[in-house]
Amino acid sequence: MTVCQPKTSNSVREISIPREAVELLVQEHQRHPESPYLFPSPKTGGMYHPDSIVNLHKKILKDAGLEYVRFHDLRHTFATVALQSGVDVKTVSAMLGHYDAGFTLRTYTHTNRRMQEKAAEKMGNFMAQVL
């Protein structure tokens, strides 16, 4: 396996994560501080092969009794939940490494429709109170 630069410059970015997640990552790193990898392979001590990550993901879902979801779909789940939770599209777009927010909007239009329906409902409730 070869380590190389990501395919686009937007792929290299800083993102904010919850403090609790940072604490868990620090704890994990303390389990093997000599490794340059946060999650070294228990077999080799090196990086996991991408296929190993997918297989591990499948095993975790199965062991937890959860329905299968492709690993990449976790990215879509994050974006959808973030948008539905009110995170602005520009922030979600930057976190996903999208070149522009328009791509994010086009990719997650189903989320925007639900958000529009919620907004319409809120406005309807407001109008009912005013009138």
CA 35 to CA 29: how far, in whole Å? 8
Q: Taking Cα atoms as reference points, which of 59, 58, 85 lies closest to residue 73?
A: 58
C-alpha torsion sign, points 106, 107, 113, 118: negative
Residue that has been written with the tokens 């403090």 in this structure: 19
CA 77 to CA 87: how far, in whole Å? 14
The per-residue pLDDT for 21 is 95
Could you read off the pLDDT of 10-65 as tens digits, one per residue?
788 888 999 999 999 999 999 999 999 999 988 888 998 888 889 999 999 999 99
CA-to-CA separations, 50 to 2, 25, 33, 82, 86, in angstroms, rounded: 11, 20, 22, 26, 32
For residue 79, count CB atoms less than 10 angstroms from its CB and return exposed for 0-12, middle for 13-18, buried for 19 or more: buried
The per-residue pLDDT for 8 is 81
The per-residue pLDDT for 40 is 92
Could you read off the pLDDT of 72-95 as tens digits, one per residue?
899 998 998 898 888 999 999 999
The per-residue pLDDT for 29 is 94
The residue with greater pLDDT, 114 or 44, is 44
Residue that has been written with the tokens 């501080």 in this structure: 33
Cβ atoms of 92 and 104 closer than 8 Å: yes
Other Cβ atoms within 10 Å of 8 Cβ, number: 10
